[in-house]
Structure 1
């Protein structure tokens, strides 16, 4: 009996060894096309704007401006692996960045306890989302949209529509302002969280179970995977990372206002959907998400240097979201077809091995 082959779209070394150079390129293009696009965009804009684009200051600004989006994308990635979506990331970051400042300015708490309180509340919110989805059986889109709207209302009530401003300790603002060599420290946050998630999702039984749930929750349950527990865990991780991102945003802005935060929701979702078209085509993945955010950041920065108007960024994000969902859907269909094709020899060999009973047996 032949063994089942992987249904992944990314080719193995054995597959590539059998192919001509031209066919290797065609095989690798869907997997590494987005990273190559990122490099091509950097080269293109560097040639077009040699005095402004390929500078340490510009790349530092790109990282600094898009780190919050990357962190939110990694937050929403967790429930999306299990086939759920968490829209509270866009609303939660509004409340958490306001709250961590308010605890220090209005209540006089030290910065570290303020940060810890916000992280605990973020985890609690993730738990509530998980319970609504898995216990109350509310669709994740509806549940998190409803909870997120409540969070936004709380933020508006708490601020009264005004900014929260006050003296913040240097230790708190350094959460965002520090640099490690030429890199802003926020780049290390993204790299560190991405590495931890990659190890968790790609190299542990927990991650494999979560991907199995996202592929087919009923089949995962029948195979003994505690679906409810893993989905709730994914929402708790998402809530905690969203709260941490809110802390970073607060240290960056140094003021709290309810009008800031929702603009990050769409780019974060675009990053995850677009990331599912590369590295591991057909499923959301960590490094694909990071590469997608880089492509978005470089593309928008280059367009702005062309003199693009203020509406270019939301237009670019919206168009990219639609395109990425279409491409991701196509990749998932290819994955399902590959799985069916790879299973066909197994079924055939099983049929061939079944002997019909003779008369009298």
Structure 2
């Protein structure tokens, strides 16, 4: 009696994998094409593309930062508060303390990394759920922001900010805004770390099964702290860029970026490598969101449409991420036994 094989043929499974991995990328192209046909005079222009790349660079960087702890099945809800404090501290050090802008940026980025380590220590050693822990630490950051600014904006003097500092956001390279290249560089670095180095493999094992990680000798606590440290470092970088973009210190601006960051990170886990957070998928997800927001904005949508779009997309992203993870698990469990020919071919 032969063992019954899965009702799905190898071709069907292959098609299903391609749709799951690259469906979001195809949606990106379709959205761009649809808006270009509907708005031919404004949407497919270089000016519009440059504006989208510039405006969405900081949300994209923050989404990549939020993705890192999600790899370990942890969540850093302090990133919005951290972004607000980082950009306010950058302005405080440059404007009010008269620090050189490179030193101020370096201190802010290092400070973000240190706070990320603190988040990891609280989560792992105090054994507090990451949602609760980072919500609490984020509130502390928000309090620090208010204490530093006294609730008021930090405005540069009559001479403004150093041109070299604002150029880190305003400059162009190959005709495109330079922040877009920061996003590409960060995506490449995270892809290398997560997909090609032992660090990434350890983080994925911890995220899929912490008990297994402990049994095989992976120091779980240490690597979760590494993940939060990476998130904090990225938040510090985003804060510096936000200061260069806004050119004032606004104590309440950071929270506006929290929801889009998690939408991009969670939706990204349904693309390229379905079922697990990954840098390329996050980049694709952020691109979809950017095109969608730019398109509905050019159609003259009301101000409340943006938070509605982000909220609905977050719900869809969580649902799709859960479905993709369950699908991957189901495929592993129901994978048909290999024939001797398939086994010998795989071994060769």
TM-score, with normalisation over the residues of structure 1?
0.88
Gaps of 5+ in 1: 1-14, 347-361
CA distance in 2 between partners of 1:50 and 1:345 (Å):
53
Deviation at 1:29, TM superposition (A): 1.4
Aligned length: 328
CA distance in 2 between partners of 1:26 and 1:185 (Å):
37
CA distance in 1 between partners of 2:305 and 2:62 (Å):
21
Any conservation in 2 of the 1:56–1:182 contact (CA below 8 Å)? no
Q: Which residue of 2 aligns with 1:242?
A: 235
Gaps of 5+ in 2: 1-7, 339-348
CA distance in 2 between partners of 1:152 and 1:273 (Å):
24
Kindly indicate whether residue 319 of structure 2 is the aligned counterpart of residue 329 of structure 1. no
Deviation at 1:27, TM superposition (A): 3.9
Q: Which residue of 2 aligns with 1:298?
A: 291
Q: Which residue of 2 aligns with 1:288?
A: 281
TM-score, with normalisation over the residues of structure 2?
0.91
Q: Which residue of 1 aligns with 2:75?
A: 85
Q: Which residue of 1 aligns with 2:162?
A: 169
For residues 247-291 of structure 1, give each alpha carbon's deviation from its aligned partner in whole angstroms, at most 9, with x where no partner exists: 000000010011211110000000011111111111111111011
The change in CA–CA distance for 1:299 and 1:131 in structure 2 (over 3 A counts) is same
Deviation at 1:25, TM superposition (A): 4.4
CA distance in 1 between partners of 2:92 and 2:153 (Å):
10
Aligned ranges 1:222-241 → 2 under 5 Å: 222-241=215-234
CA distance in 1 between partners of 2:221 and 2:250 (Å):
36
Q: Secondary structure at the match of 1:54?
A: coil
Alignment counterpart, residue 11 of structure 2, candidates 14, 19, 22 = 19
The structure having more radius of gyration, on CA atoms, is 1
For residues 223-255 of structure 1, give each alpha carbon's deviation from its aligned partner in whole angstroms, at most 9, with x where no partner exists: 111111110001111101100100000000010
Deviation at 1:345, TM superposition (A): 4.7
Q: Which residue of 1 aligns with 2:185?
A: 192
Q: Secondary structure at the match of 2:326?
A: helix
What is the RMSD computed on CA atoms of the aligned residues?
A: 1.6
Aligned ranges 1:140-159 → 2 under 5 Å: 140-159=130-149
Q: Which residue of 2 aligns with 1:207?
A: 200
Deviation at 1:305, TM superposition (A): 1.3
CA distance in 2 between partners of 1:25 and 1:136 (Å):
45
Kindly indicate whether residue 132 of structure 2 is the aligned counterpart of residue 132 of structure 1. no
CA distance in 2 between partners of 1:289 and 1:26 (Å):
20
Deviation at 1:116, TM superposition (A): 1.0
For residues 81-134 of structure 1, give each alpha carbon's deviation from its aligned partner in whole angstroms, at most 9, with x where no partner exists: 011111111100000100011101111111011011111111110110010011
Q: Which residue of 1 aligns with 2:305?
A: 312
Q: Which residue of 2 aligns with 1:262?
A: 255
For residues 136-163 of structure 1, give each alpha carbon's deviation from its aligned partner in whole angstroms, at most 9, with x where no partner exists: 1111111111000110111112111111
CA distance in 2 between partners of 1:335 and 1:206 (Å):
22
